[in-house]
Amino acid sequence: MPANEVILTTCPRDCYDACGIAVIKRNGIISRVRGDPNNPVNRGSLCGKCAIAYNGVILDPIQRLKTPLKRVGPKGLGQFQPISWDEAMETIADRLKDIIATTGPEAIVNAHYTGTMSRLAYAFPLRFFNRLGAGEVEPDTICNMAGQVALQYTIGNALDGFDPRTANDAHCIMVWGANPSHSAPHAHNHWLPEAPGKKIVIDPVRHRTAQRADLHLQLFPGSDNALAFSLLHVLREEGMIDEGFIEEHVLGWDEIEPVIRNCPPAWGETATGVPAAKIIEAARIYGSGPSLLWLGQGMQRQPNGGNAIRSCAMLPAATGNFGKPGAGLYYLNMDGGVRGIDDDYVTAPHLRSGEKKSFSHMELAQRLEHSTNI
């Protein structure tokens, strides 16, 4: 093995871009992780989540767990002792067998999440729990589930993100409730500034992405629904609604249009705090298309979050900004089919004999607190 070696792979952290990373080994030991400069997505950039994890804790022999730990004291006191892998496997297997024999497999709950988004590492354990017949903590209920369900209601499962390389074809890129300067530096450093179209940022906070935008709509927190309807009102009044697209692809427009008529920019200013003139300007830019709409996850973590996503999704539907270069809606580029992987082949739901029981992640702490089996 050469003294210095570079291994190219992809980042498996809780993100959907799968950025390219270069793992640098010196004398057989990983010394540093950097962005892959030849990867078309991130082109050498790494977000703090990846860089800190792989250049910090994961290389620190004191902080990194390298052996199983078994609790030896009462729950909650944090008393653990190292055990061997064989003992850990035997302990877990014996406990699972005992639970299944006494109360059934539903008493076992798979509480997984997205610490790693490596498709196989994330999905393959589900095969085991399907065969076991275990229950599940729904993994996205505290994260992005409201937005996912909202988009399924609005556009179904046929559309899932867009290719960022088509950003150069966009006349407008509208970033709503996201801050790529902090969470997606590859987008902030490369494809956003390189795209020739106008950038509109909608966010209560004037962060770096908003500062670099051509137009920033600084709305009241939680007023996203109102702003979306006011933008739709302007698009309708300005003749920017794609009637042909609606006729062919959209259901329910006749029912929602009377509501849109009652949401003029002056009403929008009162409801959102965004000046009416800026609402009009933003609508005209977006309506001139083709336009990309980037929806952040933060905006759907509120009481009306799901409906906020649904309201925003009406913008590309009303203007025909689907199915062409430089147009579309981005929320989560995460579907397994896009990556060419058959999730059912990996997770094997057919191995489950009964119906899967699940509950919200937000109930997990309470259930653990009152459980007598842990």
Residue 340 lies in a domain: no
Residues comprising the chain, all counted: 374
The total domain count for the chain is: 4
Which tokens is 169 given? Answer: 């074809």
CATH of the domain at 48: 2.20.25.90
Residue with tokens 């966010």: 203
Residues 276 and 131 in one domain: no
Please name the amino acid found at residue 115. Answer: G
Residue 20 lies in a domain: yes
Residue 338 lies in a domain: no
Residue 140: what pLDDT? 75
Domain holding 190, by residue range, is 145-330
Residues 177 and 317 in one domain: yes
Residues 124 and 170 in one domain: no
Instruction: Tell me if the pTM is above 0.75.
Output: yes
Residue 339 lies in a domain: no
Residues 172 and 231 in one domain: yes
Residues 113 and 180 in one domain: no
Residues 358 and 304 in one domain: no
pLDDT tens figures, 280-304: 999 999 999 899 999 988 888 888 8
Residue 336 lies in a domain: no
pLDDT tens figures, 354-373: 888 888 888 888 887 777 66
CATH of the domain at 270: 3.40.228.10
Secondary structure in 3-state letters for the chain: CCCEEEEEEECCCCCCCCCEEEEEEECCEEEEEEECCCCCCCCCCCCHHHHHHHHCHHHCCCCCCCCCEEECCCCCCCCEEECCHHHHHHHHHHHHHHHHHHCCHHHCEECCCCCCCCHHHHHHHHHHHHHHCCEEEECCCCCCHHHHHHHHHHHCCCCCCCCHHHHHHCCEEEEECCCHHHHCHHHHHHHHHHCCCEEEEECCCCCHHHHHCCEEECCCCCCHHHHHHHHHHHHHHCCCCCHHHHHHHCCCHHHHHHHHHCCCHHHHHHHHCCCHHHHHHHHHHHHCCCEEEEECCHHHCCCCHHHHHHHHHHHHHHHCCCCCCCCEEECCCCCHHHHCCCHHHHHCHHHCCCCCCEEEHHHHHHHHHHCCCC
Residues 152 and 277 in one domain: yes
Report the distance separating Cα 123 and Cα 45, nearest Å.
27
Starting from the edge strand earliest in sequence, which strands make up the sheet with 135-138, in order?
109-110, 135-138, 358-360
Residue 335 lies in a domain: no
Residues 271 and 312 in one domain: yes
Domain boundary among 81, 102, 123: 102
Which tokens is 240 given? Answer: 């920017």
pLDDT tens figures, 171-186: 999 999 988 888 777 7
What mean pLDDT is reported for the chain?
87
Residues 280 and 134 in one domain: no
pLDDT tens figures, 193-215: 888 999 999 999 999 999 999 99
Please report the sign of the dihedral spanned by the C-alpha atoms of residue 119, residue 122, residue 128, residue 131: negative
Confidence of residue 160 (pLDDT cuts 50, 70, 90): low
Do residues 105 and 131 lie in contact, with contact meaning Cβ atoms separated by under 8 Å? no
Residues 228 and 249 in one domain: yes
For residue 334, pLDDT over 60 is answered with: no
Closest CA to 294 of 239, 230, 213: 213
In the beta sheet, which residues pair with residue 227?
A: none
164/219: higher pLDDT: 219
Please name the amino acid found at residue 232. Answer: L
Q: What does residue 355 show for φ and ψ, rounded to 5 degrees? A: -75, 140
Residues 149 and 272 in one domain: yes
Residues 6 or more apart whose Cβ sits within 8 Å of residue 186: 17, 19, 35, 41, 42, 43, 45, 47
Residues 153 and 280 in one domain: yes
pLDDT tens figures, 40-91: 888 888 887 777 777 876 677 677 788 999 999 888 898 999 999 999 999 9
Residue with tokens 């002056």: 266
For range 271-284, the mean pLDDT: 98
Closest CA to 186 of 15, 330, 12: 15
